[in-house]
Each structure stands twice: as structure tokens, then as C-alpha cells.
């Protein structure tokens, strides 16, 4: 595991513009609240030979008593070699961050890139079993990748490649077709890389959460991030450690999941006579404005998902979600910035893209692999029910969980257009098509105005 601060440097075209350290930038912005002397007067107080002392001469931040000051200090950190499950937790706690993560849709992962049982902090009694599960999952992943790759070659009509593409582009689409359907066997203990850019305030809060967490991997990352944050905003480091509030909060959330797991038995993964995947049911609650809204007018000038959306949709609250979503999709749905997300990590089933196998194709080469995913989901559930805090390292990306979003209707329109549009994963498109069907029941006048796609390749 590694965390690396990356600082900005002025572009050549901006050579005649001021450049400041993150804390000098925050101090200069904070001074605007106390006087109106202007930027040039503030910059004149900077001693080029003592930049750190200049921070206090511009604005005494006195222990960052006002956290909004730290919002003006931008920080970018690259994080290498953390588990998929920890990366999910980062995005869940960083709704204002910009960034990227290594994609399972474009990169083939290997067993050598999985987190070890020791690094996870598994009890000695579970380590051999977990290592076997990781091996079985990667074996299933490689077999599934071979199956879907073969199918893409045998049935090129399935990949829906647009006419006129170069052979190289067609091969890329074939690879993506296989990756998208095989990834459900990848264990969440696989390693990934993440880059996040956000304010120093957000980094400090993330460090508090990580350093207060019950997972050893989270605490290790929290300390690494704290050390990197000290290079950019040293005055903030004292606020980036463990806190009683976040420690108790993380434990409370785990206790709630354990209690729910004790009273909930996921039959799809606990009884072998059932198919492994839980059929996803979309749900939606709507909170419209009191007066009569005009939703059609709100979309009158809406030509793409980045375009203008009117005030009535922006004022309409939505709570929507699905009863069972594979973790592979949750990882991406979790990254939308607005509103709140709720996802108790209690397994409900295992999805392995069986609905993507066309009629006339023998599914037996891959159907037998589904038991690997079912067993991973079952062990995750059993360990959670027993209160084992490392339960989250046992699933694969096909294990399904409840997932809910709370946001406004204009943001839902954006998400639906993105997740059904060109290049979207086929399963995103299925989930958002189901959600749009409910949205149209509430607001039939918007049908045809929302730019709903069919997840065509790009």
C-alpha cells in the first residue's frame, strides 16, 4: 500500500500569475472575510524566504477553528494497492471528491494482486479458508473470461459493434464485453489504485474515519494519508487522527448490520435449490413541490445530460433504489456526488450474468462456476451474522446488496441518461431502465424528453 501527495505547478501560460502553497491559498482566501484590501495587498505580506510564517501573517487560522478555511486548500493524493472494498468505502465517504479508480471493465486482474490474509487482519482460524476462496474465485473469473471471450468471437452480433469501426476498435469492444460479464467472480479483496482530489478539510475528515475504523487496512491507509496531508497542510494534521465519535459510529453501523443479519436469512445463497441471483426490484418515493410543477418545460432545452434542467425537477426529492444490486455495479453507483447513499453490506444473492447467455448456447461451462460465488456470499453472510468484522473481504463483485439513493429529480435524470447511454455497463442500464419506468409512472410527461439510451458500445 502506498499514498503519494502530488502538488500542482503553474502551467507555462500562467507564469505571470501568483502561485501559492495550499495553506497560503487558504489563508489568502480567508483574509477576504476580514477586509477588502484586495489580492495584491494580501500577496505583498508573503515573505518568499519564509512561506510557512507568511501563512500566519496573512490570517491566523488558530487551529482551523473554522473548518471552511480548510476547504480552500486543495490536495491531490494517489493511492496504490488497496482492496476493492476499502476503495468503495473511500468513495462512500468522499462525495465531493474528484478522482478515478482502476476499472475492472478494462483491466484483467490476477490472484497475485489480491490482498493477503495477513494484510486484511483475518483471524488465524480463517486464513487458509480465505486463501482457498480467493484462489477459487480467480479460477472462476479466468474461466468466465474465457467463456465470454469465446462467445464474443462466435456471436459477433452480441457485442453490437457499430459499422465502420476499425478491427482494433472491434477487438476492444470484444474484450470489454467479456470483462463486463466475467468480473462478477472477482473477489473484493483484489487490489486497486485510486486517485482523489479534494479539499484538505475533506482529507482530514477521511483520515478521522479511517484512523477510527475497526479494519486494520483502513487504519493503515489513514496513517499514510495523514503523513501525506502533513506535507501540504501541516497545521491540519492534529485534526486527522482517531476520534471517539467516528470510532463509535463505525461500530454502531456494524452492530446494526449484525443485528439485521441475525434476523434475515438470504435464501438465494443459503439454499442450493434456488438460483443464486436475487431478482432486483426497483423502488421509488417522490417528494414534489406543493404547487403544480411543469416537468415537461423543465426539459424543453435539454439536449444532453449536461444541459439545463428546470427548477421544478431541481426541487423534487427522490428516494430510489433496488432490492439487490451486484457489488460490481454498486462500486460505480456509489460514486455519484449528490445526496446520500445507503447500502447495508448484508448479502442477498449472487449475480453472474446468466441472463446474458443467449438461447442455443450451452450455459453449463459457466453455470457450475456460480457455486463459487454463492459460497463467497454465504461465508460473508455467516461471518457478519457471527460478528466477525472482516466479513467484507469475502464477497466477489457478483454478490448482491440492497442499495438506495436520496437526491433530487434533476440529478436522477443525469444519472439515468449516463447509466443507460453509450458505453454504459449492461447491468447499469437494466437497473436505471427499471427505475425510469417508475419515474414515468409518476411523471408521464417526461417520457421522450429524458435521453434514455440502450447502453450501446462506444
Tens digit of each residue's pLDDT (9 = 90 or more) over 331-340: 999 988 889 9
Contacts of residue 163, Cβ cutoff 8 Å, sequence gap at least 6: none
Burial class (CB in 10 A: 0-12, 13-18, 19+), 99: middle
Share of the chain above pLDDT 70, in %: 98
Given a contact cutoff of 8 angstroms between Cβ atoms, the answer to whether 67 and 309 are in contact is no
Residue 253 carries which DSSP code?
Answer: H
* Residue 399, strand partner residues: 350
**Position with higher pLDDT, 82 vs 106:** 82
Flag whether pLDDT at 310 surpasses 90. Answer: yes
> Is the domain 2-79+191-242 a CATH 3.30.1360 member?
yes
Q: Is the dihedral of CA 110, 116, 122, 123 positive or negative?
A: positive
Flag whether pLDDT at 67 surpasses 80. Answer: no
State the angle between helix axes of 244-263 and 370-385 in degrees (0 to 180), rounded to the nearest 10.
120
First to last CA, the chain: 34
> Is the domain 262-446 a CATH 3.30.70.100 member?
no
Check residue 63 and give left, alpha or beta (phi > 0: left; psi -120 to 50: alpha). left
Flag whether pLDDT at 59 surpasses 80. Answer: no
Nearest to 383 by CA among 393, 370, 373, 371: 393
Compute the distance between CA of residue 398 and CA of residue 413 in angstroms, rounded to an integer.
Answer: 26
* Residue 342, strand partner residues: 404
Flag whether pLDDT at 63 surpasses 60. Answer: no
**pLDDT (tens digit, 9 = 90+) per residue, 260-291?**
999 999 999 988 777 899 999 999 999 999 88
Q: Which band of pLDDT confidence, cut at 50, 70 and 90, is reported for residue 62?
A: very low
The pLDDT of residue 394 is 98
Q: Which band of pLDDT confidence, cut at 50, 70 and 90, is reported for residue 54?
A: confident
The pLDDT of residue 66 is 65
Which residue intervals of the chain bear CATH 3.30.1360.170? 262-446
Flag whether pLDDT at 237 surpasses 70. Answer: yes
Compute the distance between CA of residue 99 and CA of residue 85 in angstroms, rounded to an integer.
Answer: 17
The pLDDT of residue 217 is 98
State the angle between helix axes of 200-211 and 84-93 in degrees (0 to 180), rounded to the nearest 10.
130
The pLDDT of residue 33 is 81
The pLDDT of residue 391 is 98
Given a contact cutoff of 8 angstroms between Cβ atoms, the answer to whether 349 and 269 are in contact is yes
Q: Radius of gyration over alpha carbons of the chain, in Å?
A: 24
Compute the distance between CA of residue 65 and CA of residue 164 in angstroms, rounded to an integer.
Answer: 60
Amino acid at each position: 500500500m502506498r499514498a503519494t501527495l502530488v502538488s500542482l505547478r503553474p502551467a507555462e501560460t500562467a507564469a505571470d500569475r501568483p502561485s501559492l502553497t495550499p495553506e497560503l491559498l487558504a489563508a489568502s482566501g480567508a483574509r477576504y472575510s476580514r477586509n477588502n484590501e484586495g489580492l495584491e495587498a494580501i500577496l505583498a505580506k508573503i515573505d518568499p524566504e519564509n512561506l510557512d510564517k507568511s501563512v500566519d501573517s496573512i490570517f491566523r487560522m488558530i487551529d482551523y477553528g473554522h473548518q471552511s478555511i480548510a476547504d480552500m486548500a486543495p490536495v491531490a493524493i494517489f493511492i496504490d494497492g488497496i482492496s476493492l472494498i476499502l476503495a468503495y468505502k473511500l468513495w462512500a465517504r468522499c462525495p465531493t471528491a474528484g478522482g478515478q479508480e482502476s476499472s475492472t471493465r478494462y483491466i484483467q486482474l490476477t490472484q497475485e494482486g489480491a490482498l493477503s490474509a495477513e494484510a486484511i487482519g483475518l483471524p488465524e482460524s480463517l486464513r487458509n479458508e480465505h486463501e482457498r476462496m480467493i484462489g477459487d474465485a480467480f479460477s472462476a473469473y479466468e474461466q468466465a473470461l474465457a467463456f465470454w471471450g469465446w462467445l464474443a468471437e462466435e456471436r459477433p452480433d452480441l457485442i453490437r459493434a457499430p459499422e465502420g469501426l476499425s478491427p482494433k476498435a472491434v477487438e476492444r469492444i470484444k474484450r470489454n464485453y467479456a470483462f463486463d460479464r466475467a468480473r462478477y467472480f472477482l473477489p473484493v479483496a483484489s487490489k486497486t489504485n485510486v486517485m482523489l482530489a479534494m479539499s484538505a478539510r475533506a482529507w482530514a475528515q477521511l483520515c478521522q474515519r479511517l484512523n477510527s475504523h475497526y479494519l486494520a487496512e483502513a487504519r493503515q491507509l489513514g496513517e499514510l494519508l495523514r503523513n501525506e496531508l502533513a506535507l501540504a497542510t501541516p497545521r491540519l494534521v492534529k485534526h486527522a487522527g482517531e476520534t471517539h465519535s467516528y470510532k463509535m459510529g463505525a461500530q454502531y453501523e456494524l452492530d446494526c448490520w449484525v443485528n439485521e443479519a441475525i434476523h434475515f436469512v438470504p435464501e438465494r445463497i443459503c439454499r442450493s435449490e434456488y438460483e443464486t441471483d436475487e431478482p432486483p426490484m426497483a423502488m421509488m418515493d417522490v417528494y414534489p413541490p406543493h404547487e403544480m410543477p411543469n416537468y415537461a418545460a423543465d426539459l424543453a432545452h435539454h439536449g444532453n445530460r449536461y444541459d439545463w434542467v428546470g427548477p421544478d425537477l431541481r426541487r423534487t426529492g427522490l428516494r430510489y433504489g433496488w432490492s439487490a444490486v451486484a457489488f460490481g455495479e454498486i462500486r460505480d453507483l456509489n460514486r455519484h456526488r449528490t445526496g446520500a447513499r445507503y447500502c447495508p453490506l448484508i448479502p442477498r444473492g449472487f449475480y453472474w450474468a446468466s441472463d446474458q447467455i443467449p438461447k442455443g448456447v450451452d450455459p453449463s461451462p459457466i453455470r457450475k462456476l456460480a457455486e463459487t460465488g454463492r459460497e463467497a456470499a454465504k461465508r460473508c453472510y455467516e461471518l457478519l451474522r457471527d460478528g466477525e468484522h472482516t466479513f467484507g473481504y469475502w464477497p466477489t463483485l457478483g454478490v448482491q446488496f440492497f442499495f438506495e439513493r436520496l437526491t433530487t429529480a434533476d440529478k436522477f435524470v443525469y444519472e439515468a441518461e449516463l447509466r443507460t447511454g453509450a458505453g454504459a455497463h449492461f447491468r447499469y442500464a437494466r437497473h436505471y431502465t427499471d427505475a425510469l419506468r417508475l419515474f414515468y409512472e409518476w411523471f408521464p410527461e417526461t417520457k421522450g424528453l429524458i435521453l434514455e439510451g440502450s447502453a450501446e458500445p462506444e
